[in-house]
Amino acid sequence: MSKKQHLLNKKSGWSLDERDPKFIESLMPLLGLFYQYYFRVQTSGWDNIPPQEKALFVGSHNGGLAAPDMGMVMYDWFRRFGVEQPVYGLMHPKAWQVSQPLAQLAAKAGAIIAHPKMAYTALHSGASVLVYPGGAEDVFRPYHLRDKIYFAGRQGFIKLALRENVPIVPVISWGAHDTLIVLADCYKIVQQLHEWGMPWLFGIDPEVFPIYLGLPWGLAIGPLPNIPLPVPMYTRVCPPIVFERYGREAASDRYYVNECYELVVSQMQQELDNLVKLTAESNRKWT
């Protein structure tokens, strides 16, 4: 092993061995309280997960840096399949730069750095992988886009699924956009100010610079940490998407990759539309 590779493996997020089932087990009671009483999660579709088969779970999330819908999906996984059955979540590289102690805790819960090397390593180990391709643009998307699947054109997850010959299992959610209200994204304006010499918050160049209403700040500017408001959330695991072709050749065909990307986005959008409709009908029955 090269010296550079050894140093990489010493950093949080660069090893599958950091995942700690006992640590996850210790979190379950707290997560259960949030699940049942704080967010009152309603979920469906877990029977869509292929039995005894690894998969690439692809999600769209909301709610700022707290991303509570992501946490609730992970809780659902652990309580259905147990903490010993490995699943890894890809976490944006910049998230590891904010706080090393928090990054280490995330790694113990199964987070790995969002890098092709780690995604392939996790799948090769036989584990499933959870990815949110939209990243910061998705989790901080403005409130008027709350009912839209938004991946910002990122197609790396398609290439991963094609190369590794694994199905994509979409995971959608609705409700977490109300845990904070993103009014707008002024990234382009702040980027221009940065070019004029203004330093970035925390010394990290973000991908978004939202203006939002939420706890604890009230009105917040920038990708600040937030405390999610206690609102009901709805999640759904959708039927697997299996493509016609797989392999390195398919993953290198940009037209085919784009075709697969559009298929995933359109199917997830349809599932989200159905979830929003069902949620609205259910809420009307109780009013």
pTM for the structure as a whole:
0.88
Tokens linked to 66 = 């707290």
pLDDT tens-digit map of 130-177: 999 999 899 999 999 999 999 999 999 999 999 999 999 999 999 999
- Domain chopping of the chain, boundaries: 3-180+230-280
3 state SS of 42: strand
Rg, Å, the chain Cα set = 19
Whether the upstream peptide bond of residue 216 has omega within 30° of 0, thus cis, is yes
Q: Is pLDDT above 90 for 71?
A: yes
Assign a CATH topology to domain 3-180+230-280.
Answer: Glycerol-3-phosphate (1)-acyltransferase (3.40.1130)
Instruction: Please state, for a pLDDT cut of 90, what percent of the chain lies above it.
Output: 72
Residue 125 C-alpha from the chain's centroid: 21
